[in-house]
């Protein structure tokens, strides 16, 4: 199997798994039971890992919350800000192409009486294809806007959003800014001293860490705005009462190790996966007449390296996938491929339902090789020809 679905998840780097292991098996103390040495040992290792995560994102150590992943972080950020008892504002702004872990939270707020604006993105034929349209965004934010939530990078078409400009518009209206940075953290620079976003969500399994651990930052760099969050999970009062439950030192250490490695290796990995992305695209274009790219051009700095989303002439993405079972890729996001609806990201780009159904996503990762890409091209082209 050739794995080309690294936006859905990445394999855990063996160096990360190795760092985790002793904290599962040998040093298993509860980091909140600090009345004895085993608890204190777990706590101090976990605190060091938290400090390292905070410094990689350029936030204070007390501004990082550990969660079960980006879905929980997005829920806590959006519901937490909007449903806080002292929140007076009743309007939320987001984009049309967010992950369901944002869109569904916002839709639930709407049902509960919040006003929601979903700002469109530039269409496929625009030079800024996939980026949020800043004009309707500026028109939407007002003194009733509690939160603007826009993802840093998209999981289907890899488009990177202009977060500094989005944040400036939101802050002018006194709103807080959340960004689902799940596809960005570990792939591109996310420095909250430079980009003034108040809350970001991320997930370790997207940058070669384990599944089931993520983070939410609860304050940006400078200036540090007041973020009041209503907790979703209550209990023992861990994590400053914002997310109760015994913390897992092994997971936090894995998250920190994965992030350290991802940041240290990011330019080298970006260069390699960028080359493989072009190799794949060249091979597909040579083998399949009329195949088109969805989202920004591959040369654009607005697109994540390693992401390829393309549209086939005449054949549905699902059929192509079935004909190429030795290659793991997807016909949308991991989540939207569960239901039969065409991708809202692609229809948000202005593609028709039929065009969206004829589209697939590849995500190239750091463990892929040029030999794998060449073999994948052979399989994909042969699979397409068997259907066309």
Task: Name the residue nearer to ligand PLP (CB basis): 69 or 317.
Answer: 69
| In the complex, least distance from residue 290 CB atom to ligand PLP, rounded to whole angstroms | 29
The span from the CA of 334 to the CA of 270, in Å, is 22
Is the Cβ–Cβ distance between 66 and 255 less than 8 Å? yes
H helices of 288-338, in order, are 317-323
Task: Name the residue nearer to ligand PLP (CB basis): 152 or 384.
Answer: 152
| Residue with the two structure tokens 């679905």 | 5
Query: Is 155 one of the binding residues for ligand PLP (CB under 6 A)?
Result: yes
DSSP states along 67-114: ESSHHHHHHHHHHHHHT-TT----EEEEETT--HHHHHHHHHHHHTT-
Long-range CB contacts for residues 350-353, cutoff 8 Å, separation at least 24: 350/123, 350/124, 350/125, 351/124, 351/294, 351/311
Task: Name the residue nearer to ligand PLP (CB basis): 67 or 239.
Answer: 67
User: Under rule CB under 6 A, which residues in 259-318 are in contact with ligand PLP?
Assistant: none
Going from the C-alpha of 359 to that of each of 115, 129, 290, 317, 330, the distances in angstroms are: 33, 16, 13, 5, 9
Query: Is 214 one of the binding residues for ligand PLP (CB under 6 A)?
Result: yes
Query: Is 101 one of the binding residues for ligand PLP (CB under 6 A)?
Result: yes
Task: Name the residue nearer to ligand PLP (CB basis): 23 or 207.
Answer: 207
Kindly state the tokens that stand for 25.
């098996």
Binding ligand PLP by CB under 6 A: which of 43, 91, 118, 151?
A: 151
Residue 82 bears catalytic tag = no
The span from the CA of 206 to the CA of 183, in Å, is 7
Task: Name the residue nearer to ligand PLP (CB basis): 80 or 214.
Answer: 214
DSSP state of 231: -
Contact letters (x/-) for ligand PLP, 27-66, by CB under 6 A? ----------------------------------------
The span from the CA of 65 to the CA of 140, in Å, is 30
| In the complex, least distance from residue 68 CB atom to ligand PLP, rounded to whole angstroms | 7
User: Which residue in the shown chain puts its C-beta closest to ligand PLP?
Assistant: 69
Residue 92's beta-bridge partner residues?
A: 116, 147
Task: Name the residue nearer to ligand PLP (CB basis): 157 or 167.
Answer: 157
CA torsion, points 29, 33, 35, 36, in degrees to nearest 10? 0
Query: Is 183 one of the binding residues for ligand PLP (CB under 6 A)?
Result: yes
Binding ligand PLP by CB under 6 A: which of 56, 117, 203, 307?
A: 203
- Which of these segments, 67-75, 82-90, 169-177, 215-223, binds ligand PLP (CB under 6 A)? 67-75
Compute how many other C-beta atoms are within 10 angstroms of the C-beta atom of residue 58.
17
Binding ligand PLP by CB under 6 A: which of 91, 99, 178, 361?
A: 99
Closest C-alpha among 209, 165, 206 to residue 188:
206
Query: Is 344 one of the binding residues for ligand PLP (CB under 6 A)?
Result: no
Query: Is 358 one of the binding residues for ligand PLP (CB under 6 A)?
Result: no
- Which of these segments, 17-25, 68-76, 130-138, 379-387, binds ligand PLP (CB under 6 A)? 68-76
| In the complex, least distance from residue 203 CB atom to ligand PLP, rounded to whole angstroms | 3
Sign of CA dihedral 346, 73, 114, 109: positive
- How many chain residues touch ligand PLP (CB under 6 A)? 14
Closest C-alpha among 256, 239, 264 to residue 80:
239
Binding ligand PLP by CB under 6 A: which of 29, 31, 69, 317?
A: 69
Active site members: 335
Question: Which chain residues interact with ligand PLP by CB under 6 A?
Answer: 69-71, 99, 101, 151, 155, 180, 182-183, 203, 214, 333-334
């Amino acid at each position: 199997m050739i794995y080309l679905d690294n936006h859905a998840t990445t394999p855990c780097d063996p160096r990360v798994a190795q760092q985790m292991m002793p904290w599962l098996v040998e040093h298993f103390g509860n980091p909140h039971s600090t009345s004895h040495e085993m608890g204190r040992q777990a706590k101090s290792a976990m605190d060091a890992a938290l400090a390292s995560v905070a410094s990689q994102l350029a936030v204070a150590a007390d501004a990082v919350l550990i969660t079960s992943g980006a879905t929980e972080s997005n829920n806590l950020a959006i519901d937490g800000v909007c449903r806080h008892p002292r929140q007076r504002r009743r309007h939320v702004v987001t984009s049309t192409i967010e992950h369901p872990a944002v869109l569904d939270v916002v839709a639930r707020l709407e049902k509960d009486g919040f006003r929601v604006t979903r700002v469109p993105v530039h269409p496929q034929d625009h030079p800024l294809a996939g980026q949020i349209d800043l004009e309707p965004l500026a028109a939407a934010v007002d003194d009733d806007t509690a939160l603007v939530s826009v993802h840093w990078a998209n999981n289907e078409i890899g488009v990177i959003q202009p977060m500094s400009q989005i944040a400036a518009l939101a802050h002018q209206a006194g709103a807080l800014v959340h960004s689902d940075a799940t596809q960005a953290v570990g792939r591109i620079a996310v420095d909250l001293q430079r980009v003034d976003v108040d809350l970001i969500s991320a997930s370790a399994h997207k940058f070669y860490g384990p599944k089931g651990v993520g983070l939410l930052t609860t304050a940006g760099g400078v200036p540090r705005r007041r973020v009041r969050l209503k907790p979703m999970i209550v209990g023992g009062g861990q994590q400053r009462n914002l997310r109760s439950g015994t913390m897992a030192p092994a997971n936090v250490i894995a998250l920190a190790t994965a992030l350290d490695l991802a940041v240290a290796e990011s330019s080298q990995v970006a260069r390699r996966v960028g080359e493989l992305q072009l190799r794949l695209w060249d091979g597909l274009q040579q083998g399949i007449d009329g195949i088109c790219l969805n989202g920004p051009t591959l040369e654009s700095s607005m697109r994540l390296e390693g992401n390829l989303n393309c549209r086939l002439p005449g054949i549905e993405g699902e059929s192509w996938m079935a004909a190429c079972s030795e290659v793991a890729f997807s016909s949308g996001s991991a989540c939207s491929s569960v239901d039969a609806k065409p991708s809202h990201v692609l229809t948000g780009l202005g593609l028709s339902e039929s065009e969206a159904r004829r589209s697939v996503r590849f995500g190239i990762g750091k463990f892929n090789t040029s030999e794998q890409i060449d073999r994948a091209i052979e399989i994909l082209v042969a699979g397409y020809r068997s259907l066309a």
